[in-house]
Amino acid sequence: MGMLRVEARDCAAPPMWTIKAEEIPAEWERFETALTKTEEELMSLKQRVEKISGATEAAIFDAHLLFLRDRTILGKLNKELPSRLQNIESVYYAVVQNFMEVMRAVDDPYLRSRVLDIRDVLQRVLRNLKPATNAAPQKQEPVDSCILAAYELTPGDTADLDKSRVLGFVTETGSTMSHTAILARSLGLPAVVAVPRLVIDSRSGSPAILDGYDGILIINPSAETRKKYNTLRAEREKAYRELVRMRDLPTDTLDGRHIRLAANVEFAHEFKSIRESGAEGVGLYRTEFFLLGSDGRGMPDEEAQYEHYRRLVEACSPHEVIFRTLDAGGDKLPFEPLVEKEDNPALGWRGIRVSLSRPEIFKQQLRAVLRASAHGHAGIMFPMVSGITEVRGALKLLEECREELRERGQTFDEKMRVGIMIEVPGAAMMADVLAHYVDFFSIGTNDLTQYTIAVDRVNYRVASIFRVTHPGVVRLMARTMQAGVPTAICGEMGGDISLVPLLVGMGATEISVGAHLLPVVRVAIRHLSYEECRAMAQKALQAEDSATIRSLSHSLALKSYPQLF
């Protein structure tokens, strides 16, 4: 339960307060300083991108720079400031928001796509506007213990949320498979996505209940509803605590098949709790949030990466930590911020494609992981692999890195396991061949589903047909697991206790899930018979539709651990 804080459509509205007419010159001065700083930032970004990608890509910043000093915008601001008599950031925000609305309505896809660039400039200027020393904000919205309601949150926005002030969030767009939702789970933040008309229909300051388990937002709840939710919350917390108590029990099925239960990790603050959670190491470390963090300091160099990875390896020792190399692009953080957006980012420049086209940057990460492997147990895997050429390319660079480290006299684990993510149908089809090149597979069910049945994992309009149990997806998974190398599941499907029997039955040797799901998946595995799961999976693989597959697995789950439902 908390107060709702509604964020405006495009980026967080700045605090608003009234000013006196004589304060206007000082407001302009603050604004001019912010414009100059933004100009410097954009120029330096432009130079950076020019160096990495060339002049064409960097030209986008010319458009940003032009917009920064746009006469129409500045003219409007000049007119509005004396009439509104509010602090300059809130007037500038309103003027630019209006401008973006107009652009959105234009019947020209190119112009419409420019809205994102304008939003970026707006955010930069707002960030660079230093608070006025004499201004005591009078009308600040409540920021403590709020439930954030926003049109959209990017993974970067989500990673930046201050957990001490935000109880949870709800968005108008998004889907449960998006990286925004995955990050919310890692942060332990309740979140509800795809709520139509959220921003228009809700008001800041309204009391609200956010139920992240069932995906419900209740605005202005009655006393009775509040009471019901207070009880429900206490019950859920108690049940969870009981599950956590079993964290030291091995994840073996009733008939003795061991399933490695590992953690998916996104943030450094999770390192400490991994051991305590009882995870058998880390099955997926999504390094992109560390490498492309939104602090604006740029990509950490080899040394900084090595230090960071070493800390994680030591924290998890003796268990293995699987580092997934940079998976930029798609719906995640872009590799080169503010560069022209791609039309089909999910099919574009992401994952291993980015790394292979930037070998020097890729090799920094490979060397850093190799060096970290000397301090415990590390593994490495490559994301978004679509076929053998990428695997060969990545392995060649890895070998070069090993050689370079030997020359430098730096140690690493010569036997470090190397694997690939199976999340592109073409790779799953070729699993038998790819198996000769790597030590393990890790199935990314989020992307494998997205690509197999052509359903954008982020688009809320098609979220209801995103089915991980689509027979096509399940058959590709089975094919992958039959290829003869250990195969993990690291997509969100691994945390769905109705589907754990199917995964175990098809032959998964490892399940890696967000830390909060470990306790419940542990209990599920311990109550399953591998032989029963196998028999059920055989039937599921003959099924014609996703509902039948889900129902077969769910029935066995319900029979094996009714207490978890």
Taking CB under 5 A as the rule, does residue 494 contact Mg ion? no
CB 42, min distance to Mg ion, A = 31
| Residue 471: contacted member of Mg ion, ligand PEP, none (CB under 5 to 8 Å, by partner type) | none
Closer of 331 and 413 to Mg ion (Cβ): 331
Report how far apart the first and last C-alpha atoms of the chain are (Å, whole number). 24
Using DSSP's 3-state secondary structure scheme, residue 391 falls into: helix
Helix (H), strand (E) at residue 536? helix 530-540
| Residue 174: contacted member of Mg ion, ligand PEP, none (CB under 5 to 8 Å, by partner type) | none
Length, in residues, of the chain? 565
CB 330, min distance to ligand PEP, A = 7
CB 495, min distance to ligand PEP, A = 11
| Residue 320: contacted member of Mg ion, ligand PEP, none (CB under 5 to 8 Å, by partner type) | none
Pair of tokens at residue 41:
């930032």
| Residue 560: contacted member of Mg ion, ligand PEP, none (CB under 5 to 8 Å, by partner type) | none
What is the torsional sign of CA 15, 21, 25, 26?
Answer: negative
CA–CA separation, 360 and 358 (whole Å): 6
Closer of 28 and 349 to Mg ion (Cβ): 349
DSSP-assigned letter for residue 431: H
CA–CA separation, 316 and 336 (whole Å): 32
CB 428, min distance to ligand PEP, A = 12
CB 452, min distance to ligand PEP, A = 12
| Residue 286: contacted member of Mg ion, ligand PEP, none (CB under 5 to 8 Å, by partner type) | ligand PEP
CA–CA separation, 502 and 489 (whole Å): 11
Using the structure block, give the residue that is written with the tokens 């995640």: 332
Closer of 442 and 546 to ligand PEP (Cβ): 442
Closer of 7 and 447 to ligand PEP (Cβ): 447
Any residues with CB less than 8 A from the CB of 52 and at least 6 apart, and which? 336, 358
DSSP-assigned letter for residue 252: B
Interface positions with ligand PEP (CB under 6 A): 182, 284, 286, 327, 423, 444-447, 490-491
Closer of 212 and 444 to Mg ion (Cβ): 444
* Distances from the Cα of 129 to the Cα of 20, 92, 226, 305, angstroms: 19, 11, 40, 32
Residues taking part in catalysis: 179, 490
Binding mask 408-427 for Mg ion (x = CB under 5 A): ---------------x----
CA–CA separation, 107 and 321 (whole Å): 50
| Residue 369: contacted member of ligand PEP, Mg ion, none (CB under 5 to 8 Å, by partner type) | none
From 156, 174, 425, 444, residue interacting with Mg ion (rule: CB under 5 A): 444
Taking CB under 5 A as the rule, does residue 447 contact Mg ion? yes
CA–CA separation, 92 and 522 (whole Å): 52
Closer of 246 and 465 to ligand PEP (Cβ): 465
Tell me which residues touch Mg ion (CB under 5 A): 423, 444, 447
